[in-house]
Amino acid sequence: MSRIRELPKVELHVHIEGTLEPDLVVELAHDQGIELPYPDAEVLRERYVFADLSSFLDIYYANLDVLRRRHDFARLAYEYGARAHLAGVVHAEVFFDPQAHRSRGVPLHDVVGGLVDGFDDARAEFGVTTDLIACFLRDRPVAEASAVLDELVDMSAPIVGVGLDSAEIGNPAAPFAEVFARAAALGLRRVAHAGEESGPESVREAIEELAVHRVDHGIRSVDDPGVMAQLAAHRIPLTVCPLSNVRLRTVADLASHPLPHLIEAGVVVTINSDDPAYFGGHVDDNFLAVAEQFALTDDTLAQLARNSVTAIFLPQERRDTVL
* 165 binds ligand ADE, rule: CB under 6 A: yes
Q: Is 15 assigned a ligand-binding role in the annotation?
A: yes
Rg (C-alpha) for the chain, rounded Å, is 18
Partner in contact with 196, chosen from Zn ion, ligand ADE, none, beta carbon below 5 to 8 Å by kind: ligand ADE
| 193 annotated ligand-binding residue | yes
Per CB under 6 A, does 214 bind ligand ADE? Answer: no
Rounded distance between C-alpha atoms, residue 298 and residue 13, angstroms: 22
Nearer Cβ to Zn ion (274/284)? 274
Of 79, 93, 205, 275, the one binding ligand ADE by CB under 6 A = 275
Looking at residues 39 to 58 of the shown chain, list those that interact with ligand ADE (rule: CB under 6 A): 53
User: With respect to ligand ADE, which residue has the nearer C-beta, 205 or 274?
Assistant: 274
**Could you tell me the smallest distance in angstroms from the CB atom of residue 315 to ligand ADE?**
27
DSSP E strand stretches across the chain:
9-15, 89-96, 129-137, 159-165, 189-194, 214-217, 238-240, 269-271
Site string for ligand ADE, 107-146 (x = CB under 6 A): ----------------------------------------
- Give the chain's length: 323
**176 binds, options ligand ADE, Zn ion, none, Cβ within 5 to 8 A by partner type:** none
Q: State which residue has the least CB distance to ligand ADE.
A: 165
- Within 8 A by CB and 6+ apart from 197, the residues are 52, 53, 168, 169, 248, 250
The dihedral built from the CA positions of residue 201, 210, 319 and 75, taken in this order, carries a sign that is negative
The question of whether 196 is a catalytic residue gets the answer yes
Q: Which is nearer to ligand ADE, 100 or 314 (CB)?
A: 100
Alpha-carbon distance 177 to 211, whole Å? 8
Sequence-ordered list of residues with C-beta below 8 angstroms from that of 1, at least 6 positions apart, any chain: 288, 291
Q: Which residues pair with 192 in a beta bridge?
A: 215
Please say which residue, 60 or 313, places its beta carbon nearer to ligand ADE: 60
Listed in sequence order, the residues at least 6 apart from 138 whose beta carbon sits closer than 8 Å to its beta carbon are 164, 165, 166, 167, 168, 171, 172, 173, 176, 193
Check whether 274 is labelled as a binding-site residue.
Answer: yes
- At position 24, the amino acid (one-letter code) is L
- Verify binding: residue 286, ligand ADE, rule CB under 6 A: no
Nearer to Zn ion, 131 or 274 (CB): 274
In this chain, which of 12, 18, 134, 282 binds ligand ADE, going by CB under 6 A?
18
* Helix or strand (DSSP H, E) at 62: helix 53-63
- Phi, psi of 60, deg, nearest 5: -55, -50
Helix, strand or coil, per DSSP, at residue 94: strand
Catalytic residue among 11, 196, 197, 205: 196
Which residues of this protein are in contact with ligand ADE, per CB under 6 A?
A: 15, 18, 53, 60, 165-166, 193, 196, 244, 274-275
Just list the catalytic residues.
Answer: 196
